[in-house]
């Protein structure tokens, strides 16, 4: 697993080569979101829950370095859009900045199939080329059609093709949609030669449904998860993080993961 990438890469995973990444990068393009009003408090909660990595922004990495001192960090490198003016994403953070923050990895979008995100298929390999000169791993958020509503966005072939293209363009890790069942997701994982992590997406109203999705992704061969809103919009972010750690690192059942949530309710 990524032997050529060195220590930074291996700090993104546990000894079992799996990872629970909590995404806290939303503020750079969305501003203030429910559950994400106090980054410092939230960081303390998810670190206490046992997360392996925090995916975040330059601002949070710089201003909350104490809270991040015991956990691996991945920096979001693209953005430049917002609810105030939606525009194509651009690369806005370079590898040198990521390294100056002491982070272990960089991350950027890879959106084939969308007119508004076509630039990502150009700037992503450029980021990879720069990052790899410093042995800095890069994660691709590989989403067919990006965030646009498209009937095939979660279709197995489209997701598998997008993940493979991201890997071929230098991604060391891929974050992508869960395709709905473990068998189809196994096809995505088996055709991509870098670790595939399942994303969480918008807050799921039923915790059981969300945890069942994670169990399905892990049973389909995922190397872990990248979860944002379903952690920090949960009633108890620390408990939700612990539930994810149980599913990812200890192969817990959905019932066992739910019990972790119920124990603090």
Residue 50: give its domain's CATH number. Answer: 3.20.20.70
On whether the pTM is more than 0.85, the answer is: yes
More confident residue, 118 or 175: 175
Residue 221 — pLDDT band, cuts 50, 70, 90?
Answer: very high
How many structural domains compose the chain? 1
Query: What pLDDT, in 10s, does the model give residues 147-161?
Result: 767 778 789 999 999
Question: In the predicted model, what is the mean pLDDT of residues 208-233?
Answer: 98
Q: Name the catalytic one among 34, 41, 151, 175.
A: 175
Which pLDDT belongs to residue 4?
Answer: 66
pLDDT higher than threshold 90 for residue 56: yes
Active site residue 175: yes
Closest C-alpha to 134, from 3, 13, 5, 1: 5
Which pLDDT belongs to residue 151?
Answer: 75
Cβ–Cβ under 8 Å, residues 166 and 128: no
Rounded CA-CA distance 191/198 in Å is: 15
Which pLDDT belongs to residue 80?
Answer: 75
Query: Do you know the residue count of the chain?
Result: 265
Which pLDDT belongs to residue 95?
Answer: 97
Q: If you average pLDDT over every residue of the chain, what do you get?
A: 93
3-state secondary structure of 105: strand
pLDDT higher than threshold 60 for residue 64: yes
Give the dihedral of Cα atoms 166, 240, 205, 173; nearest 10 deg: 0
Which residues span the domain enclosing 172?
Answer: 3-262
Which pLDDT belongs to residue 148?
Answer: 67
Query: What pLDDT, in 10s, does the model give residues 68-83?
Result: 999 999 999 998 777 7
Rounded CA-CA distance 79/265 in Å is: 37
Rounded CA-CA distance 258/200 in Å is: 17
> For 140, which DSSP code?
E
Which pLDDT belongs to residue 170?
Answer: 97
| Cβ neighbour number for residue 14 with a 10 Å cutoff | 16
Least confident of 125-134, 138-147, 190-199, 204-213: 138-147
């Amino acid at each position: 697993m990524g032997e050529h990438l060195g220590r930074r890469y291996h700090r993104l995973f546990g000894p079992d080569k799996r990872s629970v990444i909590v995404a806290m990068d939303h503020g750079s393009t969305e501003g203030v979101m429910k559950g994400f009003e106090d980054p410092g408090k939230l960081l303390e909660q998810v670190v206490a829950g046992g997360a392996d990595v925090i995916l975040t922004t330059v601002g949070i990495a710089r201003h909350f370095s104490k809270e991040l001192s015991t956990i691996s960090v991945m920096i979001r490198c693209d953005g430049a859009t917002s609810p105030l003016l939606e525009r194509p994403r651009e690369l806005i953070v370079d590898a040198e900045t990521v390294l100056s923050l002491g982070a272990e990895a960089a991350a950027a979008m890879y959106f084939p199939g969308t007119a508004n995100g076509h630039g990502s298929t150009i700037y992503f390999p450029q980021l990879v080329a720069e990052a790899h000169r410093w042995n800095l791993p890069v994660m691709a958020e590989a989403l067919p059609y990006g965030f646009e509503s498209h009937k095939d966005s979660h279709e197995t072939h489209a997701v598998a093709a997008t993940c493979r293209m991201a890997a071929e363009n230098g991604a060391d890790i891929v974050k992508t949609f869960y395709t709905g069942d473990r068998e189809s997701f196994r096809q995505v994982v088996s055709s991509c030669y870098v670790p595939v992590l399942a994303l969480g997406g918008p807050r799921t109203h039923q915790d059981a449904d969300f945890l069942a999705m994670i169990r399905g992704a892990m049973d389909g061969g995922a190397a872990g998860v990248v979860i944002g809103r379903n952690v920090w919009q949960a009633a108890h972010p620390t408990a939700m993080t612990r539930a994810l750690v149980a599913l990812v690192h200890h192969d817990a059942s959905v019932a066992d993961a739910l019990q972790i949530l119920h124990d603090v309710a």
